[in-house]
Amino acid sequence: MSKIRFTAINQTFNRKPLKIDSIAKRSEIFAKKVFDQEKMRNYLSKTALKTVLSAIEKGKKIDREIAEHIAAGMKNWAIENGATHYTHWFQPLTGATAEKHDSFFELNPDGSFLEKFSGSQLVQQEPDASSFPNGGIRNTFEARGYTAWDPSSPAFIYGTTLCIPTVFVSYTGEALDIKTPLLRSLNALDEAATAVSKYFHRDVNKVIATLGWEQEYFLVDAALYKSRPDLIMTGRTLIGHAPARGQQLDDHYFGSISERVMAFMRDLEIESLKLGIPVKTRHNEVAPNQFELAPVFEEANLAVDHNSLLMDIMKKIARKHNFEVLLHEKPFAGINGSGKHNNWSMMTNTGINLLSPGKTPMKNLEFLVFFINTIKAVNDNEALLRASIASAGNDHRLGANEAPPAIISVFIGEQLTKALQELKNVSNGKLSPQEKTDLKLNVVGKIPEILLDNTDRNRTSPFAFTGNRFEFRAVGSSANTGNPMTILNMIVAKQLQDFKKEVDIIIEKDNLKKDEAIFNVLREYIKQSERILFEGDGYSKAWEKEAVKRGLSNTKNTPEALKIYKDTKVKALFETTGVLNKRELGAKYEVELEQYTMKVLIEAGVLSDLTMNHVIPAAIKYQQELVKVVKGLKDIDTKTYKTLAQEPLRILNEISENISKVSELVRKLRMALNQLEKDDLETKAEKLATKIKPEFDQIRQYTDQLEMMIDDEIWPLTKYREMLFIR
Ligand code: ADP
Ligand code: MG
């Protein structure tokens, strides 16, 4: 066995679970490292506290003087809790998180020193961020961008650093990150949803989006991970034969790893809780070594920050336990991939979940309004929602018979389907007293009951209603979920704006009562949105055909999906909702396309190196052994050796065939890559998706054949069964 593989596997045998302090009380550690309202009360003056709270709730500006007070309070709390540095923490368009650490420590000209953190250092920073992709925005206008404090997400201490959540914008105020458009979309949704919910409650003056994500991931032993250049470089295995045992892992195997994994999970839980992430850990073993972690839902901006932070914490804690976390959507071929389900709803400042039915017909009418408007928004913007989850990694997952298809559809369950059918028959204009009674009794009156048994959740649906929220399941496990959430908030905001306008016009013009007008508009929406509703098996071929008939898009790769950002109507949608102007959207498109291109290019490079430097040399080595065997047999008996050497000769031959196939394909791949250099970004991305990526699978087919033929002792790369099953 190759030395690297041998050492790696050997190391895993000596692993012991780390001892973790058991959690005394959740309440004692929860948000211990977060500068939340409770700490603010202790460290800020009354005026400063009031200002921060109104900045959080109403987006009010914080003036200089108050910022100084807040910074001082924050610094005192941070230093008392072990922080030595501070950083503006932000999420560039690449989706990762970024930070630049500065020390509190400052030297005076006279040699004395102090620990300093001023209001302006809190409010605004200028990171040396020229290396962050910006889609050309800063190049054409101003050379620099800056980060600005987002008070709606509380500061926290990570390690010994005070992290201040910020937006990252150019000097012209244009978005260079994921948070800025997210905040704008939340604003748009707030305005639109508040206006609509005022039909039902006058006291509502703010609506927030709520998000509860479920994060899937794989764990691999750190030593084994390090023995796989493809995992290190690309986050997934580019070659490797699926083990005979694949998905049907028995509990026995799982049991043997669980002690170490449990220690990791407990540690992760403690750290997350301290940072204010309200996790409730779980481990569901769909695939071997695959797990899931989900928190209780929170306000969407905070939930997005918490998910980004969690992905980082996971990596750090995993290393402590000699694991590597794989967040890639498809780290292993032939084994389930990972996603990030996004449970989404809207909630009023008075605590009402707008997607939750209630006890009164009026509450249920309100539910129907938000429910149907969301469905219509998805119907009208399905291609855009598809684009929001597009990435090189997720391309492996979507439509791969195990994950939501690349076709967006909405699942609502049998009972709600029936309710919508009845609503569809509401008559035009004024409703008769009889019809009103019927609606009250049979539709809006019945909803709470029907939802009780709305448990037949269709796991194949990418966008499913699950009782009091929608669950967007097609998001990739490694994605910054701010991106899909921005699009979802935006399309629902726009839809609710339109709805309000239509209802108001009908009330005015046709002199209808409010609920009559609402029923009239909803009726039309249901008719217009029928094509997006699908209750069947989303993984089936039949659905693909049916979806074409319904005019739903089914874009199979990222470059194709992202094209929707160039659509005139889409540009207008982003602009009118205030989420992104044309230039910002153009930058977003370009950066996402660049990211895709870069990732696939890296994969191509790693794959060709792996095959030429690892696979083929191993194959040749084994051939040499076989040649020795054949020669030996010939030495014994020149007459009959051909019969004796039949099998070694056959294997020799087969290996030769596979080697030539692999080298030929890799040569072709390298040539194709060279030719890309002259192409523009769009052409490059398209060629990578349609011509070059399919070649990967071809190459893999032959290398995986070789893996099965070559002596296990010689094979250089850690195998699937070793990575997935060894403790
Ligand atoms: P499942 O795995 O069955 O889909 P989970 O209980 O694991 O369900 O996850 C459900 C997620 O949905 C949790 O994060 C939960 O907090 C979240 N959730 C529940 N209600 C809402 C809501 N109103 N808005 C957003 N998320 C919600
Ligand atoms: Mg779920």
Mode of pairing for the β-strands spanning 410-411 and 463-465: parallel
Distance between CA atoms of 369 and 521, rounded to whole angstroms? 10
What's the pLDDT score for residue 632? 92
What's the pLDDT score for residue 141? 46
What's the pLDDT score for residue 191? 97
CA of 157 to the centre of ligand 1 (A): 27
Please name which ligand lies nearest the alpha carbon of 352: 1
Helix/strand/coil for 530: helix
CA of 277 to the centre of ligand 2 (A): 18
* Contact in structure between 173 and 322 (CB atoms under 8 Å): no
Return the CA Rg of the chain: 29
Query: Looking up tokens 């940072």, which residue turns up?
Result: 275
Please name which ligand lies nearest the alpha carbon of 475: 2
CA of 296 to the centre of ligand 1 (A): 7
Site to substitute for ligand 1 among 214, 277, 284, most atoms within 8 A of C-beta? 214
CA of 296 to the centre of ligand 2 (A): 12
**How many Cα atoms occupy the beta-carbon half-sphere of 24 within 13 Å?**
5
Residues of the chain scoring pLDDT < 50: 140-142, 249-254
- Closest atom of ligand 1 to CA, residue 345: 24
For the Cβ of 342 lying below 6 angstroms from any atom of ligand 1, the answer is no
For the Cβ of 281 lying below 6 angstroms from any atom of ligand 1, the answer is no
CA of 423 to the centre of ligand 1 (A): 28
What's the pLDDT score for residue 105? 79
For the Cβ of 486 lying below 6 angstroms from any atom of ligand 1, the answer is no
How big is the CA angle at 477 (ends 473 and 482), to the nearest 5 degrees? 75
CA of 292 to the centre of ligand 1 (A): 13
Helix/strand/coil for 471: strand
- Closest atom of ligand 1 to CA, residue 341: 4
User: Which domains, ranges and CATH numbers included, belong to the chain?
Assistant: 31-177 (3.10.20.70), 187-594 (3.30.590.10)
CA of 480 to the centre of ligand 2 (A): 17
Ion ligand 2: residues, CB within 5 A, are 341
Distance between CA atoms of 127 and 369, rounded to whole angstroms? 44
- Closest atom of ligand 1 to CA, residue 296: 16
Please name which ligand lies nearest the alpha carbon of 212: 1
CA of 69 to the centre of ligand 2 (A): 43
DSSP type of residue 353: B
Distance between CA atoms of 708 and 715, rounded to whole angstroms? 9
Q: What is the pTM of this model?
A: 0.95
Distance between CA atoms of 450 and 462, rounded to whole angstroms? 22
CA of 453 to the centre of ligand 1 (A): 17
Distance between CA atoms of 366 and 584, rounded to whole angstroms? 35
Please name which ligand lies nearest the alpha carbon of 470: 1
Distance between CA atoms of 38 and 208, rounded to whole angstroms? 22
Over the stretch 98-144, which tens digit does the pLDDT of each residue have? Answer: 877 788 877 777 776 667 888 888 888 776 655 666 766 655 444 57
488 backbone dihedrals φ, ψ, rounded to 5°: -65, -50
Please name which ligand lies nearest the alpha carbon of 292: 1
Distance between CA atoms of 291 and 572, rounded to whole angstroms? 40
- Closest atom of ligand 1 to CA, residue 294: 14
For the Cβ of 458 lying below 6 angstroms from any atom of ligand 1, the answer is no
For the Cβ of 210 lying below 6 angstroms from any atom of ligand 1, the answer is yes
For the Cβ of 597 lying below 6 angstroms from any atom of ligand 1, the answer is no
What's the pLDDT score for residue 252? 39
Which amino acid, residue 265?
A: M
CA of 455 to the centre of ligand 1 (A): 14
Distance between CA atoms of 109 and 131, rounded to whole angstroms? 33
* Contact in structure between 276 and 154 (CB atoms under 8 Å): yes
Please name which ligand lies nearest the alpha carbon of 461: 2
Take atom 17 of ligand 1 and give the residue whose Cα is closest.
212
Give the H or E element holding residue 176: none
Over the stretch 380-413, which tens digit does the pLDDT of each residue have? Answer: 999 999 999 999 999 999 877 677 789 999 999 9
What's the pLDDT score for residue 456? 57
In sequence order, what are the residues at sequence separation of 6 or more whose Cβ sits closer than 8 angstroms to the Cβ of residue 506? 512, 517, 520, 521
* Contact in structure between 463 and 409 (CB atoms under 8 Å): yes
Dihedral-angle region of residue 31 (phi above 0 means left; psi in -120 to 50 means alpha; beta otherwise): left
Token output for 488: 């979802």
Helix/strand/coil for 214: strand
Distance between CA atoms of 326 and 311, rounded to whole angstroms? 10
